Structure 1
């Protein structure tokens, strides 16, 4: 998977198309990612006195398929595809396919 945790991604398909957020979690077995403030759902929770958790309606992020997000390049500020190349010292780095800028 070319998307990593803490990457800035843009949703390119679905009800939240066009939204930009940070990747919070990667679910590799399901090919899904959890993006900050994207695909918000409401969960009804019971109060749990052992954890001191109140009951009510909690709004949280739901996973979104990895094919519906694209990494946003910091240099060109556009959603882009990711490529890999090796540097002179032999390290494998990710780079933007639009502007050839390397990622962190």
Structure 2
């Protein structure tokens, strides 16, 4: 992908899949594969063997990656598309619904 419109720390809403309409904070972004991990969304169970980090092992719940096309940025409580524009010789993201600069 060229540029990611979603960044780590953004609040997003899931717009497709089993967790549709859930909201959460982006924990990590994989630009190469176009994936994002959202807090509390797309939970999977993982069977872990006992190790130094996890003494008992067992079944662990963790978030799995979602495709970035399945999430939408939330601005002032409403999902919106994101665009880029140059302001004062700096490239900034803006909410397409309102035109407000995000960062």
Q: Same fold (TM over 0.5)?
A: yes
Which residue of 2 is the match for residue 26 of structure 1? 29
Task: Provide the TM-score with structure 2 as the length reference.
Answer: 0.91
1:64/1:52 CA distance change after superposition, 3 Å? closer
Q: What stretches of structure 1 of length at least 5 have no aligned partner?
A: none
Higher strand share: 2
Which residue of 2 is the match for residue 102 of structure 1? 101
Q: How does 1:71-86 map to 2 (within 5 A)?
A: 71-74=73-76, 77-86=77-86
Q: Please, what is the CA RMSD of the aligned residues?
A: 1.1
Task: Provide the TM-score with structure 1 as the length reference.
Answer: 0.90
Q: How does 1:85-96 map to 2 (within 5 A)?
A: 85-87=85-87, 89-96=88-95
Q: Give the number of aligned pairs.
A: 100
Which residue of 1 is the match for residue 50 of structure 2? 47
